[in-house]
Structure 1
């Protein structure tokens, strides 16, 4: 059981990190165009990717990490690398959910207004 959880945990971390890196890349590229339509479309796609990939992988990371901690013993969280990884995961989740997530909403609203003006 531990092996399966570990594989799921590693795959979730790959998806989480990969989506964040590629998302930042595409956001920077869109911003460099200076075109509001491109920027708005890019942010909307990034938001969709965040809800389809980043959020589920974050939940899977948390659940599998805690589950494996329960299996192997909670004292493992006292290991510096494991404890700090868990704390960083919680911080990232808070930053993503409280700070970054709501900032994408105005871009989606802007996109909708631009579509309405075009019609």
Structure 2
């Protein structure tokens, strides 16, 4: 065991899988939940879902990412892969970063705008057309942002 990292490889792997379950579980369930709430077109339901999308992203998505990255880098260190020598590891990290870029550059800014809009219609007011335009963009970019870490999961398990 590497005394600098305090845990052995199996313990880091457990944390890695826990982070993966929290991260992927949240982004998939949140996307489905938000899409179903949006389909109701009920301002109160849409506003409530939008508020919770932001909350669950901060708690579960960010928490899952922190666990995935810290445990992933720790396991790479313990395996002696400091330079990310296996190609599958580089591809996996690249896909994870690409997903993060989509979240940071497109999805989170849309969520912030939609959350602000939702405050205006949470009491039952009309939902502006712009909300629906942003919701479509959020859904389609979100699908890509979720598929990338799912391909990453395949790479990490199969290690081609």
TM range (shorter): 0.7 to 0.9
Matches within 5 A, 1:17-28: 17-28=24-35
- What TM-score do the two structures reach when normalised by structure 2? 0.66
CA gap of 1:45–1:117, structure 2 versus 1, over 3 A, is: closer
Counterpart CA distance in 2 for 1:85 and 1:6 is 16
The alignment's C-alpha RMSD in Å is: 2.0
* 1:28-75 deviation per Cα after TM superposition (whole angstroms, max 9, x unaligned): 101111123221211110110000000111122112111111110127
- What TM-score do the two structures reach when normalised by structure 1? 0.87
Match of 1:79 in 2: 86
| Structure 1 runs (4+) greater than 4 angstroms displaced | 115-118
Q: Report deviation, 1:111.
A: 2.5
* 1:64-89 deviation per Cα after TM superposition (whole angstroms, max 9, x unaligned): 11111111012783333322211111
Counterpart CA distance in 2 for 1:64 and 1:32 is 38
Q: Report deviation, 1:19.
A: 0.5
Aligned length: 118
Is 1:94 matched with 2:101?
yes
Match of 1:33 in 2: 40
- Unmatched segments (≥5 aa) in structure 2: 1-7, 126-160
- Unmatched segments (≥5 aa) in structure 1: none
